[in-house]
């Protein structure tokens, strides 16, 4: 069992692997019976909780404010909370850091060329062809984390390697 709730906040460009890694960690923590785990994923939150929001800076920030509100309640009440949002703006990640319990920022990094090649959702192709605007990394800013607790380079490491790094960190920090 984990001693208390904590928050793993995955940030990074689209397709970098935030959802993939958060899902694998959820599985790993459940297998180890570490307690209640709840994932908050950008795609699902946008569909249900933030349906009214778009991708302007104001809307992206409001999206993160709402996600933070939920993550704060969960993590303060003993739930292991895994949050995967592009969350491109530093100030809003700092806002989340202050509020969420035991906040760990994980920068899920990947070279742009690899992301364009992966193009899981077909969005890079569209963004590069100017078919979608406000696309992070192509036509919208991404402010790199300055002091993330962890950096995972998914262009260089396997999913299992990234997961192991996170689990090791959680043991070191005595969060699990
Ligand atoms: N080491 C790795 N870690 C994570 N994902 C990887 C890795 N290597 C390859 N991939 C692949 O990269 C893709 C990552 O997509 P994923 O949906 O997890 O990204 P995301 O960061 O959640 O993007 P979005 O912001 O659009 O939701 C998956 O298809 C995954 O299989
Ligand atoms: Mg995702």
In CATH terms, the superfamily for domain 6-172 is P-loop containing nucleotide triphosphate hydrolases (3.40.50.300)
Q: Find the residues whose C-beta lies inside 6 A of ligand 1.
A: 12, 14-21, 42-43, 84, 86, 108, 118, 120-121, 154, 157-159, 162
pTM beyond cutoff 0.75: yes
- Write the pLDDT tens digit of every residue in 93-149: 999 999 999 999 999 999 999 999 999 999 999 999 999 999 999 999 999 999 999
User: Helix 159-172 crosses helix 18-31 at what angle (to 10 degrees)?
Assistant: 60
For residue 154, the ligand 1 atom closest to its alpha carbon is: 1
- Write the pLDDT tens digit of every residue in 57-94: 999 999 999 999 999 999 999 999 999 999 999 999 99
**Pair type for strands 6-11 and 80-84:** parallel
Phi, psi of 41 (to 5 degrees): -110, 140
């Amino acid at each position: 069992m984990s001693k208390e709730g904590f928050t793993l906040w995955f940030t990074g460009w689209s397709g970098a692997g935030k959802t993939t890694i958060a899902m694998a960690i959820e599985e790993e923590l459940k297998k180890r019976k570490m307690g209640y785990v709840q994932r908050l994923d950008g795609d699902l939150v946008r569909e249900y909780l933030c349906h009214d929001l778009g991708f302007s800076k104001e809307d992206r920030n409001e999206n993160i404010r709402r996600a933070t509100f939920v993550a704060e309640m969960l993590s303060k009440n003993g739930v292991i909370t895994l949050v995967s949002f592009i969350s491109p703006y530093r100030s809003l990640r700092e806002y989340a850091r202050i509020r969420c319990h035991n906040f760990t920022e994980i920068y899920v990094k990947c070279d742009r060329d690899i992301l364009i090649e992966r193009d899981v959702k077909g969005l890079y192709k569209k963004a590069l062809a100017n078919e979608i605007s406000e696309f992070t990394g192509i036509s919208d800013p991404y402010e790199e984390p300055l002091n993330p607790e962890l950096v995972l380079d998914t262009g260089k490491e396997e999913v299992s390697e990234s997961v192991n790094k996170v689990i090791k960190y959680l043991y070191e920090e005595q969060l699990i």
